[in-house]
Amino acid sequence: MIGLISATAAGAAARDRLAAAWPDRTRVYDGPVKDAVRSAFAECEQLVCFLATGAVVRLIAPLLGAKATDPGVVCVDEGGRFAVSLVGGHGGGANELARAVGESLAAQPVVTTATDAVGLPGLDTLGFPVEGAVAAVSRALLDGEPVALRAESAWPLPPLPLTEEGAHVVRVTDRAVEPAGNEVLLRPPSLVVGVGASRGAPADEVLGLVEDALRDAGLSPRSVAELATVDAKAEEPGIVTAAARLGVPLVTYSAGELAGIRVPNPSDAPRTAVGTPSVAEAAALARGGELLVPKRKSRRPDGRPAMATCAVVRRPARGRLAVVGLGPGARDLLTPRARAELRRAAVLVGLDQYVDQIRDLLRPGTRILESGLGAEEERARTAVAEARAGHAVALIGSGDAGVYAMASPALAEASDDVDVIGVPGVTAALAAGAILGAPLGHDHVSISLSDLHTPWEVIERRVRAAAEADIVVTFYNPRSRGRDWQLPKALAILAGHREPTTPVGVVRNASRPDESSRLTTLGELDPAWVDMMTVVTVGNTATRNIAGRMVTPRGYRWQESAQEEGR
């Protein structure tokens, strides 16, 4: 039971909201605060006091006994802004309670326990099915006790403080073992089950065969990542239903591809039926791995010929490569998804100045591989190599990591043995657009003026095309100390098709502390305002400066008629 105590009207209002949200778990203690706290402290496992921390400290000081037996106490301030875990953070569950109260009352939870502030990930939030002593092992991690990692292969975990030895164990295994009392089992998606079936094979027969095969081989169904078969069986109802019941995708390969895979037990029947000497074994082995269960046939209750075959392969661990855009600079333009991926990664790869931008968000133990300007190829290679070694990697870039940044060189290196997760970010053109007004209200392009990797003729051809097509243009990498003639040249090309009065927005360090911007025109822009921290957005022939804001009309009819009527 959670005892609720308040003194003021505002406190009582917040208290009643919590009592209404958790009617079965809470009990309101009325009367003089001192007596209420004393009774609640004796009778409840937890207290939420809608009082100042100072008052609560004085009230509970004489009541405190031992860490293991005292209730957890949370304080909520008069304004309902904070839920402070005061005592009993772990043993009394006050940290969890502060979070839950925070959620319920829209208050900020305040947790000062070291291990919690560190923000360990929950074992049940890692993306792998989990079994066993989750609460006990989580508690051990939180309390800083040694927890041993026993991984049969290197599946990508976030940075957990796991050791070689410990009284508690996190075990990564696809074997059908029961967790010990001090153990958590994480089930990696390591098993691929190849299936073949004659037309009309019942789903129960296919599913029964798969389950028997896994059980006999001592493998956990929770580690099955996918069912695999030949294209011709992609719609076979028994197979489709079996995959659905196992909760895994069905992947299919062409007969030609399967025919090229060497298997221990080829046969003539599938060769005549679908054009490959093996379906189950070949489909299971199509992406490589170790054959744990060679082809076996279903057993039919009526003794008639089997209608299904299956084979089980353990595939190599798949690393995880998240390509994460950090946005233009401001912390609140970093998306929650980007933040989550940064905390999910055990290895972070990026340019040193971008790493500095988010270093405080990383979990302790994250391995940081930073490099200086110009080392793009090395960064891409490193990120992919780390992911292939089975790690959880985040490769970061400013703005959007796919825009003039690391995503394409990295993905050009990556083969399909790693999982790639892209997290979009607010690219400079959008950050600048929001500052300028609405310059991108109609068709627009981005053009990089860096001729480091692109010949100038190519760049010029694209600028010319944009000029002729009357498209709004945002220039990235517009001008640097050693590269100063490209911007005037590009602007001159646009000026061949647009009036000198065409609005041009120049935004430097968008969303960063020294942000600046100006709205000028094609005729008046001074290239000296522009450097490598800047984007330059040139309007089309319809773009206007309206009340100091750059606006490219969307072309709505109602706007035209409004303008004609002088409204």
Among 476, 505, 519, 522, binds ligand SAH (CB under 6 A): 476
In the complex, the smallest distance separating the C-beta of residue 498 from ligand SAH, rounded to whole angstroms, is 21
CA distance 476 to 459: 12
Is 398 an interacting residue with respect to ligand SAH (CB under 6 A)? Answer: yes
In the complex, the smallest distance separating the C-beta of residue 397 from ligand SAH, rounded to whole angstroms, is 5
Q: Is 67:60 a contact under the CB 8 Å cutoff?
A: no
Q: Closer to ligand SAH at the Cβ: 11 or 329?
A: 329
Binding positions for ligand SAH, 310-329, rule CB under 6 A? 328-329
In the complex, the smallest distance separating the C-beta of residue 532 from ligand SAH, rounded to whole angstroms, is 4
Q: Is 550:522 a contact under the CB 8 Å cutoff?
A: no
Give the SS3 label for residue 487. Answer: helix
In the complex, the smallest distance separating the C-beta of residue 264 from ligand SAH, rounded to whole angstroms, is 49
In the complex, the smallest distance separating the C-beta of residue 366 from ligand SAH, rounded to whole angstroms, is 22
Q: Closer to ligand SAH at the Cβ: 221 or 329?
A: 329
Q: Is 144:115 a contact under the CB 8 Å cutoff?
A: yes
Binding positions for ligand SAH, 522-541, rule CB under 6 A? 532-535
Among 47-55, 117-125, 359-367, 403-411, which window interacts with ligand SAH (CB under 6 A)?
403-411
CA distance 555 to 154: 55
> Could you tell me the two tokens for 362?
């990383």
Q: Closer to ligand SAH at the Cβ: 173 or 486?
A: 486
In the complex, the smallest distance separating the C-beta of residue 476 from ligand SAH, rounded to whole angstroms, is 4
Q: Which residue is nearest to ligand SAH (CB)?
A: 399
> Could you tell me the two tokens for 232?
């011709």
Among 48, 362, 428, 436, binds ligand SAH (CB under 6 A): 428
CB within 8 Å of 378: residues ≥ 6 apart: 371
> Could you tell me the two tokens for 243?
């995959």
Which H/E stretch holds residue 271? helix 268-274
Is 505 an interacting residue with respect to ligand SAH (CB under 6 A)? Answer: no
> Could you tell me the two tokens for 446?
């981005």
Burial class (CB in 10 A: 0-12, 13-18, 19+), 400: buried
Strands across the sheet containing 437-438:
437-438, 549-551, 544-546
CA distance 499 to 109: 56
Site string for ligand SAH, 221-250 (x = CB under 6 A): ------------------------------
> Binders of ligand SAH: how many residues, by CB under 6 A?
26
Q: Is 500:521 a contact under the CB 8 Å cutoff?
A: yes
Is 273 an interacting residue with respect to ligand SAH (CB under 6 A)? Answer: no
Cα distances (angstroms) measured from residue 52 to each of 1, 15, 76, 97, 280: 22, 14, 7, 17, 67
Detail the DSSP E strand segments found in 37-175. Answer: 46-50, 72-76, 82-87, 108-110, 130-132, 147-151, 162-163, 168-172
Is 400 an interacting residue with respect to ligand SAH (CB under 6 A)? Answer: yes
Among 120, 227, 405, 525, binds ligand SAH (CB under 6 A): 405
Q: Closer to ligand SAH at the Cβ: 10 or 330?
A: 330
Is 446 an interacting residue with respect to ligand SAH (CB under 6 A)? Answer: no
Q: Closer to ligand SAH at the Cβ: 77 or 400?
A: 400
β-partners of residue 49 are 5, 75
CA distance 115 to 7: 32
Q: Closer to ligand SAH at the Cβ: 102 or 399?
A: 399
Q: Closer to ligand SAH at the Cβ: 246 or 431?
A: 431
Q: Closer to ligand SAH at the Cβ: 53 or 480?
A: 480
In the complex, the smallest distance separating the C-beta of residue 322 from ligand SAH, rounded to whole angstroms, is 16
> Could you tell me the two tokens for 409?
């060189």
Please give the residue ranges that form the binding site for ligand SAH (CB under 6 A).
328-329, 397-400, 403-405, 427-428, 431-432, 476-478, 507-512, 532-535
